[in-house]
Amino acid sequence: MMQYQNIWKKSLLTTQNRFFSNSVSRLGTNGKRKATGVVFMNMGGPATLHEVHDFLYQLFADYDLIPISKKYQPTIAKYIAKFRTPKIVKQYSEIGGGSPIRKYTEYQAKEVCKILDKTNPETAPHKPYVAFRYAKPLTDETYQKMLKDGITKAVAFTQYPQFSYSTTGSSLNELWRQIKKFDPERKISWSTIDRWPTNEHLVNAFAENIKRKLEEFPEDIRSEVILLFSAHSLPMDVVNTGDAYPAEVASTVYNVMEKLKFSNPYRLTWQSQVGPKPWLGAQTLAISNFLSPQSKGLLFIPIAFTSDHIETLHEVDLGIIGESEHRAKLKRCDSLNDSPTFIKAAADVVSDHLKSNQLYSKQLPLDFTLGKSNDPIVDLSEVFGDHSKN
Residues with Cβ within 8 Å of 35's Cβ and at least 6 positions away in sequence, in order, are 124, 125, 126, 127, 149, 150, 151
Distances (CA, A) of 335 to 16, 303, 331, 342: 43, 9, 12, 10
pLDDT tens for 362-388 read 999 999 999 988 889 999 999 999 998
Residues 287 and 144 in one domain: no
Predicted pLDDT at 249: 98
- Residue 169 resides in a domain: yes
- Residue 389 resides in a domain: no
The whole-angstrom separation of Cα 58 and Cα 46 is 11
Residues 223 and 103 in one domain: no
Predicted pLDDT at 215: 97
Residues 282 and 356 in one domain: no
3-state secondary structure of 378: coil
Predicted pLDDT at 43: 93
Residues 314 and 354 in one domain: no
- Residue 6 resides in a domain: no
Residues 52 and 191 in one domain: yes
Predicted pLDDT at 6: 46
pLDDT tens for 288-328 read 999 999 999 999 999 998 999 999 999 999 999 999 999 99
- Residue 14 resides in a domain: no
The whole-angstrom separation of Cα 3 and Cα 1 is 5
Residues 277 and 247 in one domain: yes
Predicted pLDDT at 374: 81
Predicted pLDDT at 368: 96
Short-list 277, 242, 243, 61, CA closest to 165: 243
Do the bridges between strand 330-332 and strand 266-271 make them parallel or antiparallel, or are there none, so unpaired? unpaired
- Residue 259 resides in a domain: yes
- Residue 224 resides in a domain: yes
Predicted pLDDT at 33: 77
**26 confidence band (pLDDT: 50, 70, 90):** low
Taking a C-beta distance cutoff of 8 angstroms, is the pair 52, 89 a contact? yes
Residues 55 and 124 in one domain: yes
| Residue 217 pLDDT greater than 50, yes or no | yes
The whole-angstrom separation of Cα 218 and Cα 296 is 10
| Residue 202 pLDDT greater than 50, yes or no | yes
Predicted pLDDT at 203: 97
The whole-angstrom separation of Cα 188 and Cα 152 is 4
| Residue 348 annotated in active site | yes
The more confidently predicted of residues 389 and 284 is: 284
Short-list 185, 170, 231, 212, CA closest to 374: 170
- Residue 357 resides in a domain: yes
Residues 83 and 189 in one domain: yes
Catalytic residue among 317, 348, 352, 375: 348
The whole-angstrom separation of Cα 255 and Cα 260 is 9
Predicted pLDDT at 390: 57
Angle formed at CA 151 by CA 148 and CA 155, multiple of 5 degrees: 130
Helix ranges, the chain (H)? 2-25, 52-60, 73-94, 101-119, 139-149, 170-182, 200-214, 236-239, 245-259, 284-291, 310, 340-356, 364-370, 380-383
Domain boundary residue among 332, 349, 365?
A: 332
| Residue 29 pLDDT greater than 70, yes or no | no
**16 confidence band (pLDDT: 50, 70, 90):** very low
Residues 182 and 322 in one domain: no
Distances (CA, A) of 349 to 35, 172, 190, 334: 18, 18, 16, 22
Residues 80 and 121 in one domain: yes
Residue 320 lies in domain? 200-332
Predicted pLDDT at 276: 82
Predicted pLDDT at 13: 42
Domain of residue 174, CATH code: 3.40.50.1400
DSSP label of 335? P
Average pLDDT, whole number, for the chain? 91
Residues 189 and 207 in one domain: no
- Residue 230 resides in a domain: yes
Across 169-193, average pLDDT:
96
Residues 316 and 353 in one domain: no
Q: What's the domain count of the chain?
A: 2
Do the bridges between strand 266-271 and strand 226-232 make them parallel or antiparallel, or are there none, so unpaired? parallel
pTM for the predicted model, two decimal places: 0.89
pLDDT tens for 52-81 read 999 999 888 888 777 787 788 889 999 999
What amino acid occupies position 250? Answer: A
